[in-house]
């Protein structure tokens, strides 16, 4: 893995952990920080890793965009920054690995966007989530895009318009995270969920993830059209053939990839 200034990247067996490492800036997302996160996800996508943990060093997960970076930019500069951020979020969805957020402390604005853009999320009981632009001067337009798709319209409106922090239990109830655990159990819970989400054929899982994102926001008829074609084609892959053969032969599968 490459060396970075603003993040730490570590591989342990089949799992890559990407840790935002700007604790002094509350892991706020400058252009350089976003670029490194994007590079790390793109680098990881090309490996045989099966899972990615996105974490934050220091007291919070991420405070969102770095206003020190934003304030000096003109319109074109801010547009370039937000385009880079969007590219990161879409890349997290498109990589073949299962991406899980390990959330502690606050995840606000674009930090909350990161959580919503991960495939899965586990939060410490002490975590909090907010789109604070609603009570400030710069509304959280782009962070609201994946958050809306995770929690629905009315809850998104409350989160975005009030700007208030919701606690981890509320985030779980609203569907922003998958699990809430005691702070001391966070790492174990992340590892457990990721292990269960990555078992089986890596190639099959990667295609499954890609297809889920492709059909999620489509009308039902379009979603079925996509799913039927992908599932029919996937039935002919080595992974599917091995999965069916091992089931019929009552043996443990030997995945070809």
At 257 the pLDDT is: 72
Phi and psi at 133, nearest 5°, equal -55, -25
Separation of CA 107 from chain center? 13
Scanning the structure block, which residue is given the tokens 């109830």? Answer: 173
CA angle 145, 150, 153 (to 5 degrees): 70
At 44 the pLDDT is: 98
Token digits for 123? 């939060």
At 1 the pLDDT is: 64
- Using CA atoms, how far residue 58 sits from 10, 105, 186, in Å, is 17, 9, 15
Q: Are strands 128-130 and 166-167 parallel, antiparallel or unpaired?
A: antiparallel
Token digits for 199? 């078992």
20-44 pLDDT, tens per residue? 999 999 999 999 999 999 999 999 9
Q: pLDDT tens track of the chain, all 257 residues?
A: 678 999 999 999 999 999 999 999 999 999 999 999 999 999 999 999 999 999 999 999 999 999 999 998 999 999 999 999 999 999 999 999 999 999 999 999 999 999 999 999 999 999 999 999 989 889 999 999 999 999 999 999 999 999 999 999 999 999 999 999 999 999 999 999 999 999 999 999 999 999 999 998 898 899 999 999 998 999 999 999 999 999 899 999 998 87
Evaluated on CA atoms 205, 210, 213, 215, the torsion sign reads negative
Q: In this structure, are residues 44 and 94 in contact, taking their beta carbons and an 8 Å threshold?
A: no
């Amino acid at each position: 893995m490459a060396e970075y200034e603003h993040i730490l990247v570590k591989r342990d067996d089949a799992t890559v952990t990407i840790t935002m490492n700007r604790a002094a800036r509350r892991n706020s997302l400058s252009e350089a920080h976003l670029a490194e996160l994007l590079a790390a996800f793109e680098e990881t996508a090309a490996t045989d890793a099966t899972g990615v943990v996105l974490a934050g060093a220091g007291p919070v997960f991420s405070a969102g965009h770095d206003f020190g970076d934003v304030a000096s930019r003109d319109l074109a500069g801010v547009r370039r920054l937000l385009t880079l951020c969007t590219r990161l979020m879409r890349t997290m969805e498109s990589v073949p690995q299962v991406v899980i957020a390990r959330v502690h402390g606050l995840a606000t604005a674009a930090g909350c966007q990161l959580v919503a853009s991960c495939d899965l999320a586990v939060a410490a009981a002490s975590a909090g989530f907010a789109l604070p632009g609603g009570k400030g001067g710069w509304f959280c337009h782009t962070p609201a895009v994946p958050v809306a798709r995770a929690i629905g319209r009315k809850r998104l409106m409350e989160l975005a318009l009030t700007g208030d922090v919701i606690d981890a239990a509320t985030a779980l109830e609203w569907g922003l995270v998958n699990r809430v655990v005691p702070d001391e159990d966070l790492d174990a819970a992340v590892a457990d969920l990721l292990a269960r989400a990555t078992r089986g054929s890596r190639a099959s899982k990667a295609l499954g993830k890609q297809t889920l994102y492709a059909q999620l926001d489509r009308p039902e008829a379009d979603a079925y059209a996509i799913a039927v074609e992908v599932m029919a084609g996937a039935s002919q892959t080595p992974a599917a053939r091995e999965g069916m053969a091992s089931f019929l032969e009552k043996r443990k599968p030997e995945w070809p990839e």
